[in-house]
Amino acid sequence: MKKIFIQLCSLITFIFLYSISTNAIIFECENGYSYKIDRYNNHSEFYFKKIDSNWQPIKNVKEINNKIEYFLPNSTYLACSDKELNVCKYKTLITFNSATQVADVREIIISDCFIGTMGCNKYERGLELNLRRCQIKNEPSAPN
């Protein structure tokens, strides 16, 4: 009876430790940023960082199927010399195919606006720009 009790306690401890552990998926992307998702049972936490900086939490994220939309702070393009024109703001979109382990990142224009590179050009809401590839790393989560 004592042996069964010890085995049962060991099993319960293992299940408990397994359930509170986290796994992280990290996207290291050609746009100079890395993005991390820490998954806890039915909850996820999202982070981003530039190369050689610390992880910063992302508060505004949408997950839809194999797409993750990040709303990073201060995501704007270069303004035109005409300051009355709307400056382009964007959200970051990561598309990830878990079956093939292929991911890419791009920027999506949030509203009609103008970008001041090589003149002043108009861009429409929903336009996807700057497609870049990402490398995927799956690993146990480490402290931030």
User: Would you call 11 exposed, middle or buried from its count of C-beta atoms within 10 A (0-12, 13-18, 19+)?
Assistant: exposed
Task: Give me the mean pLDDT over the 52-66 stretch.
Answer: 89
Q: Where are the domains of the chain?
A: 22-139
Render pLDDT for 80-113 as a digit per residue (tens, 0 to 9).
999 899 999 999 999 988 888 899 999 999 999 9
Give the distance, in angstroms, between the CA of residue 65 and the centroid of all CA atoms in the same chain.
14
Total residues belonging to the chain: 144
Which has the closest alpha carbon to 55: 29, 28, 30, 36?
Answer: 36
* Comparison of pLDDT for 23 and 36, the residue scoring more: 36
Whole-number pLDDT of residue 103: 93
